[in-house]
Amino acid sequence: MDPQEVFRRGVRAIVTDDPRFELVGETARESQAASMAGSTAADVVIYDPGTHSARVCAELAALSPTPRMLVLTTKSSQEDLYSMIRSGATGYLLKDCTSADLLGAIALVADGQTIVAPRLAAALVADLNQDTGRQADRSGLTDRELEVLAEVARGLTNRDIARELKVAENTVKNHVRNILDKLGLRSRVEATLYAIKAGLVDPKR
């Protein structure tokens, strides 16, 4: 979803030229984003947030299955980044990215992983470290929670983590909720960035 026709055409050309992906729809209107994503069963929605981004994100989150959201925008402020992450975005790129960057991000987001434009990620990690304060002490997490956090940072879903750790999926959900509560975080993206900052995962993986 992007209001600019020229930009949509560019993204369309890039995506359709890659055999890994199928473009199932596009729109210039935010009001049509969720209905189109639902009717086409889209796996990933590439979205340039507008004035109704909160409503669009809520509508996308209500879909089943829920598509993953990759933000592609010119908005580079920490406020915009935080807002979209907390609204459910798992990817955030700026429009000056390369074609290879975009295709790589689509693949990562489709696989359940997290991607943030590099120049924004460093600032976000620093902010998270300050905001969480004493709660960001990893010693507050149990060994199992640290293990789950590392798997979340690798991009695994709750189901994948449950299979990996040989526990029930609901158990993993509870661990993830406890992790976010203890660290003062709101999303898996923030948890991933925290895990990188804490040295629990290699950011180049």
Give domain limits for the chain. 5-116, 128-197
- Is residue 117 helix, strand or coil? coil
Q: Which residues fall within 8 angstroms of residue 192, CB to CB, at 6 or more apart?
A: 114, 152, 153, 155, 201
Look up the CATH number of domain 128-197: 1.10.10.10
Rounded Cα gap, residues 114 and 107, in angstroms: 10
Look up the CATH number of domain 5-116: 3.40.50.2300
Rounded Cα gap, residues 61 and 63, in angstroms: 6
Please compute the mean of the pLDDT values over residues 184-188 and round it to a whole number.
Answer: 81
Q: Residue 106 — very low, low, confident or very high, per pLDDT cuts 50/70/90?
A: very high
pLDDT of 196 > 80? The answer is: no
CA atoms 69, 72, 75, 77: torsion sign: positive
Please compute the mean of the pLDDT values over residues 55-78 and round it to a whole number.
Answer: 90
Task: Supply 75's token pair.
Answer: 């908005």
Q: Residue 201 — very low, low, confident or very high, per pLDDT cuts 50/70/90?
A: low
**More confident position, 68 or 195:** 68
The torsion angles phi and psi of 127, rounded to 5 degrees, stand at: -65, -40
- Residue 186, Cβ density class (10 Å: 0-12 exposed, 13-18 middle, ≥19 buried): middle
Which position has the token pair 């700026």? 94
Write out pLDDT tens, residues 136-152.
455 589 999 999 998 88
